[in-house]
Amino acid sequence: RARADDDTARRRARPRIIMFAMSSRVATQCASLSNARASRSLENRRALAARAPTTTTTTRRRRGGRASRLVVRADGFSIGKLASVLAKKTQADFDRVFKGTSKTREKLSYMDEMLSLWRLEDVEETLDELEEVLISVDFGPTTAMDVIEVVRERVEKGEISTGPQVKQALKTAIVDILQRPNGGEPGCAPLALSEEAPTVIMVVGVNGAGKTTTLGKLSNRFALESGAKVMLVPGDTFRAAAAEQLATWAERSDGVMATYKEGMKPGAVCYQAVQEAIKMGDVDIVLADTSGRLHTNCDLMDELAGVRRSITKSLASAPHETLLVLDGTSGLNMLNQARAFSEAVDVTGLILTKLDGTARGGAVVSVVNEMNIPVKFVGVGEKMEDLQTFEPESFVDAIFPRDDNESRDEL
């Protein structure tokens, strides 16, 4: 028994030794890169200032001493500019989403064949078949039934009577579901950006969903497209090389890596990072990474709730957003994840990743329908620009097969 106890103790100690060595190396690397990043950040900000309008405004101060970001800063950044950049959609953005949803669109192509044979006398049979197609791309029974019921009511009222009209009614019903968390307003669901810096965004999710990569892409988009100064927080203190990966993203996006000491708990890392951002004064956005965890593990979910409380303790209004990263290939399991994480940390938005590798894109509609949480971003590839602001109309238009004579404006 004594030998068995010794073996158990050695096994438990081994990963701690590995993590200690890794943390030490990461801290050294972060320190050595800090001067280079600061120099590069200064050069980039000078370039942004040169391109900014010649007229500048005085930054207003609010109670508490922090500057309001409603006005334009000397380097050209403002909260309004960031919000505008995130809301802007181009044809190239739509093309990326269209390409990334090809597998889901291929499965939904069966609808065209059914609707080409549409006859009013076969309404119930055809609607049942359409419901089965929606379920096949992971809309789920409840959401598929809700969508079909909307179409059935319109058919019974005589509002629609042809196959193309039914298809359009299906698309409209799905868009309505996706827009519901945003008060039914068209376009992208906006991020909750703080008028007083910094805006703190907490990123959560299960293991392997792509949190750290997504966080890096967000940092790149915030910094390069709007000139925001972003701090990245290595809140994943358990996964080997997680902080190294985050430091690489910080360097690529000209971000600031939050300082931390080896052995710190996740909550302490996040608390200290927010305090550091406030003290620096010019950090606009804090992106806090967290360790991946199974949504069924109650202890780990309680720990995550503690991390959120630490952030709130550091800044009463934070986190301003808690974004749940969902792996698009997990299908309807996303709904279970959304329920568990929402209960633990009050999720305010969703990020759907790996959509280009699955035909189960309909699951996100089910999550929004049952949880009433908006989708903020969608990942349709590995490139930096493949993380797109989510727009319901474009998404629905992309997952449905489109006739040659069908225009996007018809949606």
Domains recognised in the chain with CATH numbers = 79-92+187-401 (3.40.50.300), 101-182 (1.20.120.140)
DSSP β-bridge partners for residue 196: 68
- The DSSP H or E segment spanning 201 is strand 199-204
CA distance 279 to 200: 14
The per-type count for the chain, helices as H runs and strands as E runs, is 15, 8
pLDDT value at position 75?
Answer: 56
116: number of Cβ within 10 Å: 9
* Confidence at residue 90, expressed as pLDDT on a 0 to 100 scale: 63
pLDDT value of residue 2:
53
Taking the chain (411 residues) in consecutive chunks of 10 residues, what is each chunk's mean pLDDT? 50 38 41 45 44 36 43 60 66 74 82 80 88 91 96 94 92 96 84 88 93 90 86 89 86 88 92 96 94 92 96 96 93 92 96 80 91 92 83 90 55 43
CB 204 within 8 A of CB 164: no
